[in-house]
């Protein structure tokens, strides 16, 4: 893994609640990560393409309107098809029942409301390295 891990952040679908993703984007940048901000209105296809084209180390997906299990499933399917072994992190309003489901599918971590900035950065450092020293 390169010294400065590269993360792509995006939302899939038509939901446009982007406050959380913007915040995480600036958190990660300030902590020394390189963030590719894919923003709103991605399809699983466009997001996976961005992840591969930009050669990222982590994909971060944000959800606020449900349907995350189906969408994450599709993203994982596409990544597998491209033989791209890129870890996935999910954040947003995720109903409790979906968290074990997402993790069983292979999502590395799920951050729900209440996750602190420290939690997120600590996890990224532990899992993907990089970032400034705390």
Partner 1 sequence: MGAPEETNKRLRYLISEGLTGISISCDGPTLVGIDADHPLAEGEVGLVGCSICTLDDIEVIFSDIPIESLRPLLIYAQPASAIIFAMFLLLCKRRGIDIRQLEATIQNDPIYQMSGGALECLDKFTPVELAMRLSLDTIEYCAKNMPKAKPIGINAYNVRERGVDAVTEVAYGIGLAVDMAAALVERGVGIDEFAPNISFFMSTHIDFFEEVAKYRAARRLWARVMKQKFQAQREASCRFRVAVQTAGSSLTTQQPLNNIIRTASEVIASVLGGVQSIRATPYDEGICLPTESSARIAIRTQQIIFEETGIGNTADPLGGSYYVEWLTNQIEDRAAMELEEIEKAGGVVAAIKSGRLERAVNDAIEKRQAKMSVGEDVVVGVNEYVVAEEDVGIQDIYRADLGLEEKRKEYLMRYRSEREGQSVSRAREELLKLAKQGVNLISPIMQALEAKMTMGEIADALREAYGFVLRGA
Dihedrals phi, psi of 106, to nearest 5 degrees: 120, 5
| Position 100 contacts partner 1 (CB under 8 A) | no
41 binds partner 1 (CB under 8 A): yes
Using rule CB under 8 A, residue 65 touches partner 1: yes
50 binds partner 1 (CB under 8 A): no
Binding footprint of partner 1, residue count (CB under 8 A): 32
DSSP 8-state symbol, 131: S
Residue 123 binds partner 1, judged by CB under 8 A: no
Rounded to a whole number of angstroms, the minimum distance from the CB of residue 46 to partner 1 is 7
Tell me how many helices (H) and strands (E) the chain has.
5, 5
Are the C-beta atoms of 81 and 113 separated by less than 8 Å? no
Q: Is 116 in the site for partner 1 (CB under 8 A)?
A: yes
Distance CA 104, CA 134 (A): 31
Asked whether position 67 contacts partner 1 by CB under 8 A, the answer is: yes
Q: Of 134, 125, 116, 132, nearest to 1 (Cα)?
A: 125
Q: Tell me how far, at minimum, the Cβ of 127 lies from partner 1, in Å.
A: 21
Helix axes 68-81, 44-53, angle to 10 degrees: 40
Q: How far is the CB of 108 from partner 1 (least distance, A)?
A: 21
Interacting residue ranges for partner 1, rule: CB under 8 A? 12-19, 22-23, 26-27, 39-41, 43, 46, 65-67, 70-71, 74, 93, 95-96, 112-114, 116-118
């Amino acid at each position: 893994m390169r010294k400065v891990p590269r993360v792509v952040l995006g939302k899939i679908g038509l939901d446009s609640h982007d406050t959380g993703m913007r915040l995480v984007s600036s958190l990660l940048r300030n902590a020394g990560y390189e963030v590719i901000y894919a923003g709103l209105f991605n399809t699983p296809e466009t997001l996976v393409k961005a992840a591969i084209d930009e050669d990222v180390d982590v994909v971060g997906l944000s959800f606020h309107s449900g349907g995350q299990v189906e969408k994450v499933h599709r993203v994982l399917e596409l990544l597998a098809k491209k033989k791209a072994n890129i870890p996935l992190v999910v954040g947003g309003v995720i109903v409790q029942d979906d968290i074990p489901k997402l993790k069983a599918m292979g999502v590395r971590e799920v951050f729900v409301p209440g996750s602190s900035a420290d939690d997120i950065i600590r996890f990224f450092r532990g899992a993907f390295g990089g970032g400034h020293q705390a």
